[in-house]
């Protein structure tokens, strides 16, 4: 049985899944490029938009008057 070959999602280089220490990436460089894309919001998981939050109201402690 031949080893499973996958492509790095960043550079498309083929690698053996079982022996790749940074899978699914081929290198630390590709892993960091992908992380940067997520942090800069170039990538996102599609879904519903977040509901708008209501303004935060000031809460008073039990010993304070209303």
Question: What token pair was written down for 44?
Answer: 């996102």
Tell me whether residue 11 is in a domain.
yes
What are residue 24's DSSP bridge partners?
none
What's the gap between Cα 50 and its chain centre?
17
Q: Which helix (H) or strand (E) holds 5?
A: strand 5-7
pLDDT tens per residue across all 66 residues of the chain: 778 999 999 999 999 999 999 999 999 999 999 999 999 999 888 888 777 877 766 666 667 665
> Is 15 within the bounds of a domain?
yes
Report how far apart, in Å, the C-alpha atoms of 28 and of each of 13, 52, 63, 64 are.
Answer: 13, 37, 55, 55
Total domains in the fold of the chain: 1
CATH value at residue 11: 3.30.50.10
Tell me the backbone φ, ψ of residue 36, rounded to 5 degrees.
Answer: -60, -35
Domain that holds residue 20: 5-39
What's the pLDDT at 57?
65
């Amino acid at each position: 049985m031949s080893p499973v070959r996958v492509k790095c999602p960043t550079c498309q280089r083929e690698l053996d899944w079982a022996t790749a220490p940074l899978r699914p990436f081929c290198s630390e460089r590709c892993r960091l490029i992908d992380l940067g894309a997520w942090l800069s919001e170039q990538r996102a998981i599609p879904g519903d938009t977040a509901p708008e939050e209501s303004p935060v109201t000031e809460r008073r402690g039990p010993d304070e008057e209303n």
